[in-house]
Amino acid sequence: MGQSRLGVIGYPIKHSLSPVMHTSWFNKYKLDNRYEMLEVPPDTLKATVKKFRSPEWLGFNVTVPHKVAIFSLIDEVDEKAQLIGAVNTVINHGGKLTGTNTDGEGFIQSLLHAGFSLTDKVQALIIGAGGAARAVGFALAKSGIKRLDFTNRTQEKAEALSEVAKEFTASSALSLSQAEEGLADYQLVINATSVGMEPFPDHIPLSLRHVMPGTFCVDLIYKPLQTLWLKEADSKRCQTLNGLPMLVYQGALAFKHWFGNMPEVDGVETLLVEYLN
Ligand code: ATR
Protein backbone atom coordinates (compact mmCIF):
# COMPACT_ATOMS: atom_id res chain seq x y z
CA MET A 1 0.00 0.00 0.00
CA GLY A 2 1.22 3.50 -0.83
CA GLN A 3 1.51 6.50 1.36
CA SER A 4 -1.56 7.36 3.45
CA ARG A 5 -2.83 10.89 3.40
CA LEU A 6 -4.08 13.31 6.03
CA GLY A 7 -4.59 17.03 5.92
CA VAL A 8 -6.34 20.14 7.08
CA ILE A 9 -9.04 21.95 5.14
CA GLY A 10 -9.77 25.64 5.59
CA TYR A 11 -10.13 28.90 3.73
CA PRO A 12 -7.86 30.80 3.68
CA ILE A 13 -5.21 28.49 5.10
CA LYS A 14 -1.82 30.12 4.94
CA HIS A 15 -0.22 29.63 8.32
CA SER A 16 -1.47 26.35 9.76
CA LEU A 17 0.91 24.71 12.22
CA SER A 18 -0.81 21.33 11.85
CA PRO A 19 1.41 20.06 8.98
CA VAL A 20 4.56 20.77 11.01
CA MET A 21 3.14 19.08 14.09
CA HIS A 22 1.78 15.95 12.41
CA THR A 23 4.80 15.54 10.15
CA SER A 24 7.04 15.61 13.23
CA TRP A 25 5.04 12.68 14.65
CA PHE A 26 5.13 10.77 11.33
CA ASN A 27 8.92 11.13 11.35
CA LYS A 28 9.22 10.16 14.99
CA TYR A 29 7.11 7.01 14.59
CA LYS A 30 8.40 6.23 11.07
CA LEU A 31 4.92 6.42 9.54
CA ASP A 32 4.87 6.68 5.79
CA ASN A 33 2.17 9.34 5.68
CA ARG A 34 1.69 12.79 4.27
CA TYR A 35 -0.13 15.68 5.99
CA GLU A 36 -1.31 18.30 3.53
CA MET A 37 -2.63 21.81 3.78
CA LEU A 38 -5.73 22.11 1.57
CA GLU A 39 -7.19 25.48 0.75
CA VAL A 40 -10.85 24.71 0.11
CA PRO A 41 -13.19 27.55 -0.91
CA PRO A 42 -16.71 26.96 0.48
CA ASP A 43 -18.20 26.23 -2.96
CA THR A 44 -15.82 23.27 -3.44
CA LEU A 45 -16.24 21.77 0.05
CA LYS A 46 -18.76 19.13 -0.99
CA ALA A 47 -16.64 17.79 -3.85
CA THR A 48 -13.50 17.82 -1.70
CA VAL A 49 -15.12 15.87 1.12
CA LYS A 50 -16.22 13.21 -1.36
CA LYS A 51 -12.56 12.57 -2.22
CA PHE A 52 -11.75 11.91 1.43
CA ARG A 53 -13.82 8.70 1.33
CA SER A 54 -11.16 7.00 -0.76
CA PRO A 55 -8.96 4.49 1.16
CA GLU A 56 -5.75 6.51 0.77
CA TRP A 57 -7.19 9.13 3.15
CA LEU A 58 -7.12 8.22 6.87
CA GLY A 59 -8.93 11.41 7.80
CA PHE A 60 -8.53 15.16 8.03
CA ASN A 61 -8.72 18.21 10.25
CA VAL A 62 -11.23 20.96 9.68
CA THR A 63 -10.73 24.63 10.36
CA VAL A 64 -12.43 27.97 9.68
CA PRO A 65 -14.86 28.38 7.92
CA HIS A 66 -15.83 24.70 7.46
CA LYS A 67 -16.27 23.48 11.05
CA VAL A 68 -20.07 23.73 10.91
CA ALA A 69 -20.73 23.29 7.17
CA ILE A 70 -19.03 19.88 7.28
CA PHE A 71 -21.83 18.43 9.46
CA SER A 72 -24.16 17.76 6.55
CA LEU A 73 -21.42 16.29 4.33
CA ILE A 74 -20.18 13.50 6.61
CA ASP A 75 -21.94 10.33 7.83
CA GLU A 76 -21.74 10.66 11.59
CA VAL A 77 -20.97 13.37 14.13
CA ASP A 78 -20.11 12.23 17.66
CA GLU A 79 -21.55 13.64 20.88
CA LYS A 80 -18.60 15.96 21.61
CA ALA A 81 -18.83 17.67 18.26
CA GLN A 82 -22.64 17.83 18.51
CA LEU A 83 -22.45 19.62 21.85
CA ILE A 84 -19.83 22.10 20.66
CA GLY A 85 -21.60 22.51 17.33
CA ALA A 86 -18.34 22.18 15.39
CA VAL A 87 -16.17 19.42 13.92
CA ASN A 88 -12.38 19.75 13.89
CA THR A 89 -11.37 16.15 13.14
CA VAL A 90 -12.76 13.58 10.71
CA ILE A 91 -11.88 9.88 10.61
CA ASN A 92 -12.33 7.78 7.46
CA HIS A 93 -13.39 4.20 8.34
CA GLY A 94 -13.61 2.36 5.04
CA GLY A 95 -15.39 5.19 3.27
CA LYS A 96 -17.55 6.20 6.23
CA LEU A 97 -16.65 9.65 7.58
CA THR A 98 -17.07 10.34 11.32
CA GLY A 99 -16.60 13.82 12.77
CA THR A 100 -15.46 14.67 16.27
CA ASN A 101 -13.99 17.65 18.09
CA THR A 102 -10.72 17.46 20.04
CA ASP A 103 -10.53 21.14 21.05
CA GLY A 104 -12.25 20.82 24.44
CA GLU A 105 -10.34 17.76 25.57
CA GLY A 106 -7.16 19.30 24.15
CA PHE A 107 -7.73 22.28 26.39
CA ILE A 108 -8.34 20.09 29.47
CA GLN A 109 -5.18 18.08 28.82
CA SER A 110 -3.09 21.22 28.35
CA LEU A 111 -4.39 22.54 31.66
CA LEU A 112 -3.61 19.31 33.52
CA HIS A 113 -0.18 19.16 31.91
CA ALA A 114 0.49 22.70 33.19
CA GLY A 115 -0.24 21.48 36.72
CA PHE A 116 -3.76 22.80 37.28
CA SER A 117 -6.05 20.42 39.21
CA LEU A 118 -9.69 20.33 38.16
CA THR A 119 -11.30 19.65 41.53
CA ASP A 120 -14.80 20.26 42.85
CA LYS A 121 -13.47 23.42 44.56
CA VAL A 122 -12.58 25.18 41.31
CA GLN A 123 -14.58 28.19 40.14
CA ALA A 124 -13.75 29.20 36.57
CA LEU A 125 -14.59 32.16 34.37
CA ILE A 126 -14.56 32.24 30.57
CA ILE A 127 -14.30 35.54 28.73
CA GLY A 128 -15.91 35.16 25.30
CA ALA A 129 -18.86 33.27 23.85
CA GLY A 130 -17.77 32.27 20.34
CA GLY A 131 -16.57 28.94 18.96
CA ALA A 132 -13.49 28.69 21.17
CA ALA A 133 -15.53 29.46 24.30
CA ARG A 134 -18.04 26.74 23.40
CA ALA A 135 -15.37 24.06 22.94
CA VAL A 136 -13.43 24.92 26.07
CA GLY A 137 -16.50 25.82 28.12
CA PHE A 138 -18.44 22.60 27.67
CA ALA A 139 -15.39 20.41 28.33
CA LEU A 140 -14.70 22.40 31.48
CA ALA A 141 -18.34 22.31 32.59
CA LYS A 142 -18.19 18.51 32.39
CA SER A 143 -14.84 18.22 34.19
CA GLY A 144 -16.25 18.14 37.72
CA ILE A 145 -15.45 21.72 38.75
CA LYS A 146 -17.70 23.64 41.16
CA ARG A 147 -18.85 26.38 38.82
CA LEU A 148 -18.23 27.91 35.42
CA ASP A 149 -19.32 31.44 34.59
CA PHE A 150 -19.28 33.22 31.25
CA THR A 151 -18.83 36.87 30.39
CA ASN A 152 -18.79 38.45 26.96
CA ARG A 153 -18.99 41.79 25.16
CA THR A 154 -22.37 40.64 23.86
CA GLN A 155 -23.94 39.35 27.04
CA GLU A 156 -26.80 37.43 25.39
CA LYS A 157 -24.26 35.08 23.85
CA ALA A 158 -22.74 34.39 27.28
CA GLU A 159 -26.25 33.68 28.56
CA ALA A 160 -26.85 31.10 25.84
CA LEU A 161 -23.62 29.26 26.69
CA SER A 162 -24.30 29.41 30.40
CA GLU A 163 -27.73 27.82 29.86
CA VAL A 164 -26.06 24.80 28.24
CA ALA A 165 -23.28 24.64 30.85
CA LYS A 166 -25.95 24.46 33.59
CA GLU A 167 -26.70 20.91 32.49
CA PHE A 168 -23.28 19.96 33.89
CA THR A 169 -22.34 22.43 36.65
CA ALA A 170 -23.39 25.67 38.37
CA SER A 171 -23.15 28.51 35.87
CA SER A 172 -24.10 32.17 35.39
CA ALA A 173 -23.64 34.76 32.68
CA LEU A 174 -22.12 37.99 33.95
CA SER A 175 -21.71 41.45 32.52
CA LEU A 176 -18.06 42.44 31.95
CA SER A 177 -18.16 44.80 34.94
CA GLN A 178 -19.70 42.15 37.22
CA ALA A 179 -16.97 39.72 36.16
CA GLU A 180 -14.24 42.31 36.75
CA GLU A 181 -15.54 43.13 40.22
CA GLY A 182 -15.89 39.47 41.23
CA LEU A 183 -12.60 38.24 39.83
CA ALA A 184 -11.15 37.30 43.24
CA ASP A 185 -13.64 34.38 43.40
CA TYR A 186 -12.05 32.48 40.52
CA GLN A 187 -9.05 30.14 40.51
CA LEU A 188 -9.15 29.83 36.72
CA VAL A 189 -9.79 32.63 34.19
CA ILE A 190 -9.72 31.99 30.45
CA ASN A 191 -9.61 34.46 27.60
CA ALA A 192 -11.53 32.77 24.78
CA THR A 193 -12.13 35.98 22.82
CA SER A 194 -10.12 36.82 19.73
CA VAL A 195 -8.92 40.04 21.38
CA GLY A 196 -5.15 40.19 20.93
CA MET A 197 -4.95 37.70 18.06
CA GLU A 198 -2.62 38.85 15.29
CA PRO A 199 -2.99 40.83 13.06
CA PHE A 200 -5.68 42.70 15.01
CA PRO A 201 -4.84 45.42 17.54
CA ASP A 202 -4.39 44.17 21.09
CA HIS A 203 -6.22 45.42 24.15
CA ILE A 204 -7.36 43.97 27.48
CA PRO A 205 -10.69 42.09 27.14
CA LEU A 206 -11.28 42.07 30.93
CA SER A 207 -9.53 44.10 33.62
CA LEU A 208 -7.49 42.03 36.08
CA ARG A 209 -7.61 44.73 38.76
CA HIS A 210 -9.19 42.39 41.32
CA VAL A 211 -7.48 39.11 40.39
CA MET A 212 -5.79 37.15 43.20
CA PRO A 213 -2.07 36.38 42.82
CA GLY A 214 -1.63 32.72 41.90
CA THR A 215 -4.85 32.60 39.84
CA PHE A 216 -4.43 30.48 36.72
CA CYS A 217 -4.93 32.76 33.68
CA VAL A 218 -5.15 31.07 30.29
CA ASP A 219 -5.26 32.81 26.92
CA LEU A 220 -6.31 30.53 24.08
CA ILE A 221 -4.39 32.73 21.64
CA TYR A 222 -0.91 31.54 20.59
CA LYS A 223 -0.12 34.19 18.01
CA PRO A 224 1.34 36.21 19.67
CA LEU A 225 2.59 33.86 22.38
CA GLN A 226 1.89 36.52 24.97
CA THR A 227 -1.07 38.88 24.57
CA LEU A 228 -1.35 42.13 26.54
CA TRP A 229 -3.87 40.37 28.76
CA LEU A 230 -1.45 37.55 29.55
CA LYS A 231 1.31 40.09 30.24
CA GLU A 232 -1.06 41.85 32.61
CA ALA A 233 -1.79 38.52 34.34
CA ASP A 234 1.93 37.91 34.66
CA SER A 235 2.45 41.31 36.25
CA LYS A 236 -0.32 40.48 38.77
CA ARG A 237 1.67 37.37 39.75
CA CYS A 238 -0.86 35.00 38.22
CA GLN A 239 0.18 31.69 36.67
CA THR A 240 -0.12 31.98 32.91
CA LEU A 241 -0.62 29.65 29.98
CA ASN A 242 -0.97 30.55 26.30
CA GLY A 243 -2.91 28.64 23.63
CA LEU A 244 -0.01 26.70 22.13
CA PRO A 245 -0.22 23.65 24.44
CA MET A 246 -3.96 23.37 23.64
CA LEU A 247 -3.13 23.41 19.93
CA VAL A 248 -0.61 20.61 20.45
CA TYR A 249 -3.01 18.49 22.51
CA GLN A 250 -5.94 18.89 20.12
CA GLY A 251 -3.57 17.72 17.38
CA ALA A 252 -2.29 14.83 19.49
CA LEU A 253 -5.89 13.73 20.17
CA ALA A 254 -6.67 13.86 16.44
CA PHE A 255 -3.58 11.70 15.85
CA LYS A 256 -4.94 9.25 18.44
CA HIS A 257 -8.22 9.01 16.54
CA TRP A 258 -6.37 8.14 13.33
CA PHE A 259 -3.60 5.89 14.70
CA GLY A 260 -4.93 4.56 18.01
CA ASN A 261 -2.27 5.99 20.32
CA MET A 262 -1.44 9.37 21.79
CA PRO A 263 1.85 10.66 20.32
CA GLU A 264 4.61 12.23 22.43
CA VAL A 265 3.79 15.90 22.99
CA ASP A 266 6.99 16.95 24.75
CA GLY A 267 9.18 18.99 22.46
CA VAL A 268 6.43 19.75 19.92
CA GLU A 269 5.69 23.13 21.46
CA THR A 270 9.33 24.17 21.07
CA LEU A 271 9.25 23.05 17.46
CA LEU A 272 6.13 25.12 16.76
CA VAL A 273 7.57 28.22 18.42
CA GLU A 274 10.37 28.13 15.84
CA TYR A 275 7.76 28.20 13.07
CA LEU A 276 5.85 31.03 14.69
CA ASN A 277 8.95 33.23 14.81
P1 ATR B 1 -13.63 32.00 17.86
O2 ATR B 1 -14.01 30.86 16.97
O3 ATR B 1 -12.16 32.34 17.84
O4 ATR B 1 -14.16 31.85 19.24
P5 ATR B 1 -15.78 33.80 17.25
O6 ATR B 1 -16.71 32.67 17.30
O7 ATR B 1 -15.90 34.82 16.19
O8 ATR B 1 -14.29 33.30 17.19
O9 ATR B 1 -15.85 34.55 18.69
C10 ATR B 1 -15.08 35.66 18.97
C11 ATR B 1 -15.23 36.04 20.44
O12 ATR B 1 -14.36 37.16 20.70
C13 ATR B 1 -16.63 36.52 20.81
O14 ATR B 1 -16.84 36.24 22.19
C15 ATR B 1 -16.52 38.03 20.59
O16 ATR B 1 -17.43 38.82 21.31
P17 ATR B 1 -18.90 39.13 20.74
O18 ATR B 1 -19.70 37.89 20.98
O19 ATR B 1 -19.37 40.28 21.53
O20 ATR B 1 -18.71 39.45 19.28
C21 ATR B 1 -15.14 38.29 21.10
N22 ATR B 1 -14.54 39.50 20.53
C23 ATR B 1 -14.08 39.67 19.28
N24 ATR B 1 -13.58 40.93 19.12
C25 ATR B 1 -13.78 41.57 20.30
C26 ATR B 1 -13.47 42.87 20.80
N27 ATR B 1 -12.88 43.79 20.02
N28 ATR B 1 -13.79 43.16 22.07
C29 ATR B 1 -14.38 42.23 22.87
N30 ATR B 1 -14.68 40.98 22.48
C31 ATR B 1 -14.39 40.65 21.22
ipTM over 0.95: yes
Q: What pLDDT, on the 0 to 100 scale, is given for residue 259?
A: 98
For atom 11 of ligand 1, which residue has the closest CA?
193
Active site residue 67: yes
Q: What pLDDT, on the 0 to 100 scale, is given for residue 129?
A: 98
Please indicate if the annotation marks 152 as binding a ligand: yes
Which CA distances in Å does 182 have to 45, 136, 160? Answer: 45, 21, 21
Would 4-101+245-276 and 104-242 be classified into the same CATH topology?
A: yes
Q: Ligand 1 centroid to 133 CA: how many Å?
A: 9
pTM as predicted: 0.97
Q: What pLDDT, on the 0 to 100 scale, is given for residue 39?
A: 97
Residue 256 amino acid letter = K
Q: Tell me if 189 CB under 6 Å of ligand 1.
A: no
Positive/negative CA dihedral, 123, 158, 189, 79: positive
Average pLDDT for 53-65: 97
Q: Quickly count: other Cβ atoms within 10 Å of residue 59's Cβ.
A: 23
Please determine, for residue 273, whether its predicted confidence score (pLDDT) is greater than 70: yes
Q: Tell me if 196 CB under 6 Å of ligand 1.
A: no
Please indicate if the annotation marks 129 as binding a ligand: yes
Average pLDDT for 190-199: 95
Q: Tell me if 148 CB under 6 Å of ligand 1.
A: no
Position in ligand 1 atom list of the atom nearest CA 220: 3
Tell me the C-alpha distance between 269 and 249, whole Å.
10
Residue of 14, 30, 67, 256 marked catalytic: 67
Architecture of domain 104-242: 3-Layer(aba) Sandwich (3.40)
Position in ligand 1 atom list of the atom nearest CA 132: 4
Fold classification of 4-101+245-276 is Rossmann fold (3.40.50)
Domain ranges for the chain:
4-101+245-276, 104-242
Please determine, for residue 2, whether its predicted confidence score (pLDDT) is greater than 90: no
Q: Tell me if 154 CB under 6 Å of ligand 1.
A: yes
pLDDT digits (tens, 9 = 90+) for 197-239: 998 889 999 999 999 999 999 999 999 999 999 999 999 999 9
- Helices 268-276 and 18-28 meet at what angle, rounded to 10? 140
Q: What pLDDT, on the 0 to 100 scale, is given for residue 1?
A: 59
